[in-house]
Structure 1
Amino acid sequence: MYQRALTNVEKVLKPDVARVMNAKTVAAFDAGRAQLAAAVVIERSALAKITPPRGLVSAHPAVLDAFDSYSGSVATNLSKAGETKTSCGLPKAPEVRLYEAKDGVRTAFASLAQSVQTSIGKGVKFGALSVPAKPVAPAVLGGRGENGDVFQRSGPRGSGSLEITNAGDDVVIVIAGSNPRSPQASIYVRANKKTTLSGIRSQDYWVYFKSGTNWDAKNHRFTENCSYQKFDDVFDGSYNWTISLAKTPLGNASSSETESF
């Protein structure tokens, strides 16, 4: 009887869980989340009326506690999804917010199921029918550019080059005059990789570099954990240069933080 009751709970909750996980917009997700939360409360009340078998008398209160904890778990797991900007101060993409929201509810519901299963032990099952698969993350999460990809280029080309050895995190190297937002060229360099930017014009330029995570290929920018810097010395485009983004015993060429670009 107890197994039948738990199975019925799963059958009731499964469509509500699916509605949340299949939502196409944040608004649809919010509506589905409210329905699921209400259903969890109703099913908890139904379970509370059951007289558990002798072997589960001590486990039954813990099962009810798991349902009681669901709303708080959802609130905790949705805190990140509620943020409208990334750590870099950029607008968070709707698909990222929706993914984080779904992942938050899925985590909370899986935690509920796990708590119930832990309470009742191996003889009774709960969760296999109703816990959904993890949502698929959008491409920008964990996104990286291709090593050596020159994704911005302006003006005529020259004969200069810049060889880059990157022993740090993924970076974008930007060569420009006084404004890195109007670059002569921008090139993506992956962590622990080497590449060469050629075709640099024979004029002085500055080397800017920015690092971060979750590369947005459409808008050519990192969206999380951003850092912006430039080398303090000017480079003569008439020559071929080599730079290394790594600390060495002999010291590094000095660099300074800059505004975002």
Structure 2
Amino acid sequence: MRRALSITTGVAVLALLAGCGGSDDKQTLTGEDPATSTPTTAPTSAPTSEPASVPTSAPTTTTPSAPAGPLTQAQYQTALIRLDQRLAGDINALATVKTESSLSAAMENLTQTLNAESLALGSIKPPARAVAANRVLQLRLKTAATALSAGDTSDVGCGGLAYVSQSLQRQLTTTMSTAVAQLRTLGLIFGRTLPDLGPEPTDTRPANGDVIIRSGAGGNGALRVKNGSATDVAVSIVSPGKPPSKPHIMLYVQAKKTATVYRIGGAYHLYVKSGKDWNPKRRQFSSDCSFKRFDQGFTKNQGWEVQLKPSVLGNASSSSVDPY
């Protein structure tokens, strides 16, 4: 006997495969320089027949809007070191976030610091040979701030806090690399506090039909998955009472392909996560994730076929669940 289950629009399609002989029985179920100020000379009154007092006015004091310059090479290097030090705290905060709210706060603080330092660089006078490099550094800081402020934290539930934090750190280092290299050609050092995480790990796409996890006793159940969607999926077969992070079986099905898994033990619930850039260590997609659970439970020792493609003729409903 084979059972079929189709999915409603926005969900997927299912079908039962357990071969028990006889005819097929289909069941339908219903995301700026200061000017040098000069003391004002007190005017003296012209001599008269009577003594005249000579008023003197106090010197006018002004506060320079920019330091005297240009700076020497050593002075400019000191300024760069201090800039590095001012960035260090916010960069470290970004690297050590523990919650999504602390990630957002770290991003905002670092954005403000980058903008402030970019503005401050415009008020100093670097050595003549470093004027162009200083301008590049100023612009790169501004660019990094803009990119960070536009950073998306929606993938926290997908790749995790560490993944998003490391991606932002790598982005910062990459953005600043042009300025770092140009300063280095002048014998100047900057960027020692920028993150050095190395290249991003290469994501490894499993083969279609790979069983990523299998635990517990087997049985006579079978599940065929037809992935008609444009993204890969990881289908988790989860025993009753177990969280989706602890599946009995996890099956990987590439986009537009079909795969079948056998020896499913007992009744189960079906969870499907989809996305891009699979990370084999975390057993998670790193971006564009979606997490669903079929509302219907699956009985033991039966064969089901699931079609993961939205359809107005679908007959299986699903619900969004927390990332797992």
Q: TM-score w.r.t. structure 2 length?
A: 0.49
Q: Does 1:171 align with 2:241?
A: no
Contact 2:148 2:168 in 1 (8 A): no
Q: Deviations over 1:191-231 (max 9, x none)?
A: 11211111112x32111111223322112122333321111
Tell me, in whole angstroms, the C-alpha distance in 1 between the residues paired with 2:274 and 2:124.
Answer: 48
What letter corresponds to residue 221 of structure 1 in structure 2?
A: Q
Deviation at residue 164 of structure 1 after TM alignment:
0.6
Tell me, in whole angstroms, the C-alpha distance in 2 between the residues paired with 1:49 and 1:170.
Answer: 50
In structure 1, which of residues 101, 120, 123 is the aligned counterpart of residue 172 of structure 2? 101
State which structure, 1 or 2, has the greater radius of gyration over its C-alpha atoms.
Answer: 2
Contact 2:276 2:286 in 1 (8 A): yes
Q: Does 1:138 align with 2:200?
A: yes
What letter corresponds to residue 230 of structure 1 in structure 2?
A: R
For residues 108-147 of structure 1, the aligned pairs below 5 Å read: 109=179, 137-139=199-201, 144-147=205-208
Q: Percent identity?
A: 27
C-alpha change, 1:145 and 1:96, in structure 2 (3 Å) is farther
| Paired position in structure 1 for 2:255 | 191
In structure 2, which of residues 209, 213, 219 is the aligned counterpart of residue 152 of structure 1? 213
Contact 2:233 2:252 in 1 (8 A): yes
In structure 2, which of residues 136, 139, 143 is the aligned counterpart of residue 73 of structure 1? 143
Tell me, in whole angstroms, the C-alpha distance in 2 between the residues paired with 1:247 and 1:258.
Answer: 18
SS of residue in 2 equivalent to 1:173: strand
Q: Does 1:215 align with 2:278?
A: yes
Q: Does 1:231 align with 2:302?
A: no
Structure having the larger proportion of residues in helix: 1
User: Any unmatched runs of 5+ in structure 2?
Assistant: 1-76, 85-90, 96-113, 187-196
Q: Deviations over 1:106-139 (max 9, x none)?
A: 47x59xx9xxxxxxxxxxxx9xx89xxxx97422
Tell me, in whole angstroms, the C-alpha distance in 1 between the residues paired with 2:261 and 2:295.
Answer: 19
Aligned-residue Cα RMSD (Å) equals: 4.6
C-alpha change, 1:259 and 1:71, in structure 2 (3 Å) is closer
Tell me, in whole angstroms, the C-alpha distance in 1 between the residues paired with 2:130 and 2:217.
Answer: 79
Contact 1:81 1:100 in 2 (8 A): no
C-alpha change, 1:41 and 1:143, in structure 2 (3 Å) is farther
Tell me, in whole angstroms, the C-alpha distance in 2 between the residues paired with 1:49 and 1:229.
Answer: 55
Tell me, in whole angstroms, the C-alpha distance in 2 between the residues paired with 1:246 and 1:81.
Answer: 31
Contact 2:137 2:176 in 1 (8 A): no
Deviation at residue 251 of structure 1 after TM alignment:
2.4
What letter corresponds to residue 262 of structure 2 in structure 1?
A: S
Deviation at residue 242 of structure 1 after TM alignment:
0.8
Q: Deviations over 1:22-49 (max 9, x none)?
A: xxxx76xx9xxx9xx8xx8799744599
Instruction: Count matched residues.
Output: 203
User: Any unmatched runs of 5+ in structure 1?
Assistant: 1-12, 21-25, 51-59, 114-125
Deviation at residue 166 of structure 1 after TM alignment:
0.7
Contact 1:209 1:230 in 2 (8 A): yes
Q: TM-score w.r.t. structure 1 length?
A: 0.59
What letter corresponds to residue 309 of structure 2 in structure 1?
A: A
For residues 6-45 of structure 1, the aligned pairs below 5 Å read: 45=126
C-alpha change, 1:102 and 1:146, in structure 2 (3 Å) is farther
Contact 1:87 1:225 in 2 (8 A): no
C-alpha change, 1:236 and 1:67, in structure 2 (3 Å) is closer
Tell me, in whole angstroms, the C-alpha distance in 2 between the residues paired with 1:88 and 1:218.
Answer: 14
- Structure with larger RCO (C-alpha < 8 A, sep 6+): 2
SS of residue in 2 equivalent to 1:208: strand
Contact 1:173 1:188 in 2 (8 A): yes
Tell me, in whole angstroms, the C-alpha distance in 2 between the residues paired with 1:211 and 1:87.
Answer: 12
Deviation at residue 68 of structure 1 after TM alignment:
4.5
